[in-house]
Amino acid sequence: MTPNPANNHDDDTPKDPLSEMLARLLGEGGMEGFDPAELAKAAGLPQDPAMMAQMMAQVQAMMSSQGEGPVNWTLAHDNARAAAAGSDPTVSPAESKKVDEALRLAELWLDPVTDLPSTGIIGKAWSRAEWVEETLGTWKRLTEPVANSIAQALSTTIAEQMPEEMKSMMGSAGSMLSNMGGAIFGMQLGQAVGALAREVVSSTDIGVPLADLQMALLPANVKAFGEGLDLPEEEIRLFLAVREAAHARLFVHVPWLRGHLLGAIESYARGIHIDMSRMEDLARDIDPSNPEAIQAALSEGVFMPQRTPEQDAALIKLETALALVEGWVDELSFEASRNLPSAAALRETVRRRRATGGPAEHAFGSLVGLELRPRRLREAAALWSALKEQRGIEGRDAIWKHPDLLPTAADLDDPAGFGARREMDEAAEQDVDSALEKLLSGDFEGVADPQDAKDKPDSQDPKSQGPESAGPETPPSGN
């Protein structure tokens, strides 16, 4: 019998089982009655039903998301919660009480070592999921510029690389293809934030106030932080509470600082442009129908181009600001915790942890092209210590009154000489101010009033001199 090409159900017509599965997925009914094992067999994927069901749910969410803009923040939220939920015990009343007591004692210990007063904020104990809920809005603000760029670039690449038969199937689903890039990035960002939720010990652990006007510790992560240190859990909790309370005082009583840091991060992120040439090269090796392959490329930062000189300058400014914040907190926390036998050891542990960053922090940095690490923490701590010796506690903390007063990266190179350089600058500014004041008051160079100087005859101009000052008159010549 001659095969009838118009008869799609003819047994002799070659069929692509993966295309059939996709057609069924994208057609009416969606996942209803769909066997994930069939797609796994057709695509050569692992046939674990639970894994495949989860993968298909994610794919369908990517295809059907609407109204999210370039990035699917709903998927980011859901994936962050899912990544954080693993081994995330509910905070018990006993743990909440311990955290509250530690933060209250931390406030008392900080009072003698800083001019910034207590915040009055009630400390909280968060689970990892609660940390995600409290901070995801700030993560969205910080990552949106680069997230939009990556999402749009992914959508373009997927559209260009996808086989025509798949494009025709997806074309019937409206804008689902344009949603894929934003959905993939949203999923990846959510996983990165969720992974961070398993590492951070407080609301300000990365040096940036992710939750405005909050003070909190994560008991599960505090416990994980202390594993292997062979130190009393109470001392670890109290030292970390002092750091959290110090951060809170700084961000509450220096109102411009949060905007200064977040604005610097946003400015840097806006300068990130996706390297389309690298993306096009990689597109040959990436299967657009395999979200995991694209996510792996994202996690390695393969689409990030080399930084421009302007970005290098912005990054130096940002890293300096982060170092100054962390250096101030490091110095005050150590001073306030001197009664703890383990204070020196805990200080060094935190310093090394902040300098190197954890696996989740590195993954997040690769994804958005920025690692929020204070690379010059030790130099900044030395600078704040020198300022205390030179100016006292009040003079040291007065540096935070205005961003123009902050030390620069060059000052971190010579912390001990910062005070002398600042005094010279202040003396020069005072001289300029004094001279300007005299000029405006008309007392510059001994002149009482500028109008008097205009009306007063010039002693050097003979035409302006009267008869009394003209000298003896020369008699006319007799000749």
pLDDT digits (tens, 9 = 90+) for 71-126: 788 888 999 999 888 778 889 999 999 999 999 999 999 999 999 999 999 999 99
30-35 long-range contacts (CB < 8 A, ≥24 apart) are: 30/60, 30/64, 31/56, 31/57, 31/60
CA distance 357 to 381: 18
According to the model, what pLDDT value does residue 447 have? 46
Determine the Cα angle at 259 with ends 257 and 262, to 5°: 105
Question: d(Cα 206, Cα 374) in Å, to the nearest integer?
Answer: 9
> DSSP label at 474?
P
Q: Residues near 411 by Cβ (< 8 Å), separated by ≥ 6?
A: 383, 418, 421
Structure-model confidence comparison of residues 167 and 390, the more confident one = 390
What digits encode the pLDDT tens for the residues 370-406?
A: 777 788 899 999 999 999 998 999 999 999 999 989 9
Residues 189-215 have a mean pLDDT of 90
**Which residue type is seen at 158?**
I
Are 90 and 127 spatial neighbours (Cβ–Cβ below 8 Å)? yes
Percentage of the residues of the chain whose pLDDT score is greater than 90? 33
Residue with tokens 């961000």: 251
Q: How far is CA 209 from the centre of its chain?
A: 9
Report CA-CA distances (Å) from 398 to 64, 69, 256. 54, 43, 14
Q: Which amino acid is at 245?
A: A
Start-to-end CA span in the chain (Å): 148
- Global pTM reads 0.72
Q: Which tokens in the block code for residue 226?
A: 């202390």
Strand partners, 110: none
Most confident option among 75-84, 203-212, 243-252, 303-312: 243-252
Confidence of residue 30 (pLDDT cuts 50, 70, 90): very low
> Alpha helix (H) ranges present in 218-339?
219-226, 233-253, 255-270, 276-283, 291-299, 309-336
Of how many residues is the chain composed? Answer: 479
Between CA 48 and CA 57, with CA 52 as vertex, the angle to 5 degrees is: 155
Instruction: Identify the weakest region by mean pLDDT among 17-21, 72-76, 290-294, 401-405.
Output: 17-21
> How high does pLDDT run on average in the chain?
75
Q: Please name the amino acid found at residue 367.
A: L
Q: How far apart are CA 180 and CA 153, in angstroms?
A: 11
What is the pLDDT, as a whole number, of residue 303? 57
Return the DSSP state at 11.
T
Please tell me whether residue 202 adopts helix, strand or coil conformation: strand
* 160 confidence band (pLDDT: 50, 70, 90): low
* Cβ(180)–Cβ(155) below 8 Å: yes
Block residue for tokens 């106030």? 209
What is the tally of helices (H) and strands (E) in the chain?
20, 2
The whole-angstrom separation of Cα 198 and Cα 274 is 29
Q: Is the dihedral of CA 108, 114, 117, 118 positive or negative?
A: negative
